[in-house]
């Protein structure tokens, strides 16, 4: 169970952990530990401490302003209903069980932070604690979730802010792996040294676009891994004079960078996503879980598609899952059921949420998906039949007759959908849900007069 407040016992446990971590780091010539959290706009923010200060940081936290909860992607600060004041302070407590020596940043280690108030309570806007709460809630109902985030990114040449692809080989082409051979070797090797279990790495469709997938883990670990993988990709890229973009849309035309989430759920050790008699092999519980997510996709987009660039990516026939429906191995539906191969289905079947992207805060995103799925199970939400075609080819009437949910097409509609969703707002809590909605509206204002090209320019090197 995740502590809701920093008790004396907690502090004692953290001190012991810190001594173990400091000891481990001492053999690696570490001079700084980067303690990160991901803000509500999806950017990873950091404070760093030398190893000698780690125990103090773990036990008493590192001071940080709560104003970061109100940061937009360009570092401007909105004034929200529950965030944006320069007054006050909170504490970042590194989770030292997760400390990793960074292979591509010699001298550096990393640990993700939980955020507490100065009074020792979990901070209401702590995304990592939110995810832990959602995971614990599912577990209390008897379910264990396994999740993994795919990462798509684009590599460009250094030299300016315009995008010049770092490779010219074709989509999925071996030529790209040859062009980027040393970079890719250093990336895979850094991830292996850091203990990240890579499942697959390949060139993607877009210019300079690559993709990496990792093994499924418990939800908080999956989000931590996502943060670690992204910073490793960036660090390795810099050592090869390459610029990395996780922006949902790097250029106004073409495909974007997705950040698909894979989810499976087991009860008493049985995977609910496979081996059942529902369409695609779902079991009844798995079907309700998927139905819960499907029904809440509009509000979920405020979290999973958090930037103006997200809506340039989320267009039909770009494999981004722009239609609010599900399908079996259908890459144009927002939710794709992956039943797996015959013989492996009972354990490998999972659902992939595709309409979300790499600008999303992974902790908020997975937590919100779990909350939506859990509500689907509690309510016994019915799952419509799967869509077997590209929904772009269906008429409006056909789509509505088949239960295809219209997804928000911009930040303002996503913010409104989030606020209209009682399950998501209750799970997030008033402060976090209102701040997310406020930020999406503030980014809508910031980008209102910008052309698609200007939006991609703004977001390209921020994510």
Residues that bind Mg ion (CB under 5 A): 211
Cα–Cα distance, 257 to 293 (Å, whole number) = 21
Q: Residue 19 touches which of Mg ion, ligand GLU, none (CB < 5 to 8 A by kind)? A: none
For ligand GLU, the closer CB: 168 or 317 = 317
Nearest distance from C-beta of residue 237 to ligand GLU, angstroms: 19
For the record, the structure tokens of 351 come out as 């659902």
Contact 239, 232 (CB under 8 A): no
For ligand GLU, the closer CB: 30 or 222 = 222
Site string for ligand GLU, 137-156 (x = CB under 6 A): ---------------x----
Cα–Cα distance, 287 to 269 (Å, whole number) = 17
Please tell me the count of residues contacting ligand GLU according to CB under 6 A: 10
Nearest distance from C-beta of residue 321 to Mg ion, angstroms: 11
For Mg ion, the closer CB: 110 or 246 = 246
For Mg ion, the closer CB: 33 or 187 = 187
Site for ligand GLU in 338-367 (CB under 6 A): 354
Site string for ligand GLU, 378-397 (x = CB under 6 A): --------------------
Please identify which residue in 60, 172, 201, 319 interacts with ligand GLU, judged by CB under 6 A: 319
Site for ligand GLU in 189-218 (CB under 6 A): 204
Q: Residue 320 touches which of Mg ion, ligand GLU, none (CB < 5 to 8 A by kind)? A: ligand GLU
For Mg ion, the closer CB: 150 or 438 = 150
| Interface segment toward ligand GLU; rule CB under 6 A; list 78-86, 313-321, 376-384, 424-432 | 313-321
How would you write the chain as a 3-class SS string? CCCCECCHHHHHHHHHHHHHHHHHHHCCCCCEEEEEEECCCCCEEEEEECHHHHHHHHHHCEEECHHHHHECCCCCECCCCCCCCCCCCEEEEECHHHCEECCCCCCEEEEEEEEEECCCEECCCCHHHHHHHHHHHHHHCCEEEEEEECEEEEEEECCCCCCCECCCCCCCCHHHHHHCHHHHHHHHHHHHHCCCCEEEEEECCCCCEEEEEECCECHHHHHHHHHHHHHHHHHHHHHCCEEEECCCCCCCCCCCCECCEEEEEEECCEECCCCCCCHHHCCHHHHHHHHHHHHCHHHHHHHHCCCHHHHHHCCCCCCCCCEEEEEECCCCEEEEEECCCCCCHHHHCEEEECCCECCCCHHHHHHHHHHHHHHHHHHCCCCCCCCCCCHHHCCHHHHHHCCCECCCCCHHHHHHHHHCCHHHHHHHCHHHHHHHHHHHHHHHHHHCCCCHHHHHHHHHCCC
For ligand GLU, the closer CB: 61 or 304 = 304
Question: In this structure, how many other beta carbons lie within 10 angstroms of the beta carbon of residue 198?
Answer: 14
For Mg ion, the closer CB: 202 or 278 = 202
320 binds ligand GLU (CB under 6 A): yes
For Mg ion, the closer CB: 211 or 357 = 211
Output the residue with the shortest Cβ distance to Mg ion: 211
Nearest distance from C-beta of residue 206 to ligand GLU, angstroms: 7
Nearest distance from C-beta of residue 152 to Mg ion, angstroms: 5
| Interface segment toward ligand GLU; rule CB under 6 A; list 95-103, 296-304, 312-320, 414-422 | 312-320
For ligand GLU, the closer CB: 66 or 203 = 203
Site for ligand GLU in 76-115 (CB under 6 A): none
Site string for ligand GLU, 238-277 (x = CB under 6 A): -----------------xx-x-------------------
Contacts with ligand GLU by CB under 6 A lie at: 152, 204, 255-256, 258, 313, 319-320, 331, 354
């Amino acid at each position: 169970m995740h502590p809701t407040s920093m008790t004396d016992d907690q502090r004692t446990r953290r001190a012991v952990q810190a001594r173990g971590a400091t000891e481990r780091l001492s053999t690696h010539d570490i001079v700084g530990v980067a303690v990160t959290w991901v803000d509500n706009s999806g950017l990873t923010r950091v404070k760093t401490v030398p190893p000698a200060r780690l125990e103090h940081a773990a036990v008493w936290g590192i001071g940080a302003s709560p104003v970061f909860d109100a940061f937009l992607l360009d570092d401007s600060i909105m004034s929200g209903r529950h965030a944006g004041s320069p007054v006050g302070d909170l504490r970042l407590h590194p989770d030292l069980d997760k400390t990793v020596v960074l292979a591509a940043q010699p001298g550096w280690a990393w640990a993700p932070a939980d955020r507490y108030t100065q009074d020792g309570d979990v901070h209401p806007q702590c995304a990592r604690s939110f995810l832990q709460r959602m995971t614990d809630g599912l577990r209390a109902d008897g379910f264990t979730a396994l999740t993994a985030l795919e990462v798509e990114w684009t590599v460009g040449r250094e030299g300016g802010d315009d995008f010049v692809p770092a490779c010219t080989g074709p989509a999925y082409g071996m030529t790209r792996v040859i062009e980027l051979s040393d970079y890719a070797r250093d990336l895979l090797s850094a991830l292996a040294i850091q203990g990240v279990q890579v499942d697959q790495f390949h060139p993607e469709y877009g210019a300079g676009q690559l993709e990496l997938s990792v093994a499924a883990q418990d939800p908080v670990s999956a989000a931590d891994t996502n943060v670690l993988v992204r910073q490793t990709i960036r660090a390795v890229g810099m050592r090869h004079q390459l610029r990395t973009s996780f922006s949902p849309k790097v250029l106004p035309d073409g495909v974007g960078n997705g950040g698909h989430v894979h989810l499976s759920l087991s009860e008493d050790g049985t995977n609910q996503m496979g081996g059942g008699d529902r369409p695609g092999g779902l079991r009844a519980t798995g079907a309700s879980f998927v139905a819960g997510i499907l029904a809440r996709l509009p509000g979920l987009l405020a979290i999973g598609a958090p930037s103006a660039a997200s809506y340039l990516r989320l267009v039909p026939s770009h494999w981004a899952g722009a239609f609010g429906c599900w399908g079996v191995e259908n890459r144009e539906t927002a939710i794709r059921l992956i039943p797996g191969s015959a013989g492996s289905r009972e354990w490998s079947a999972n659902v992939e949420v595709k309409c979300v992207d790499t600008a999303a805060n992974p902790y908020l995103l997975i937590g919100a998906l779990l909350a939506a799925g859990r509500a689907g199970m509690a309510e016994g939400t019915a799952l419509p039949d799967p869509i077997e075609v590209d929904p772009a080819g269906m008429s409006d009437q056909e789509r509505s007759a088949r239960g295809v949910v219209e997804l928000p097409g911009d930040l303002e509609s996503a913010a409104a959908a989030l606020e209209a969703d009682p399950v998501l707002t209750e799970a997030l809590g008033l402060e976090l849900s209102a701040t997310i909605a406020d930020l999406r509206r503030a980014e809508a204002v910031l980008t209102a007069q910008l052309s698609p090209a200007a939006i991609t320019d703004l977001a390209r090197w921020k994510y």
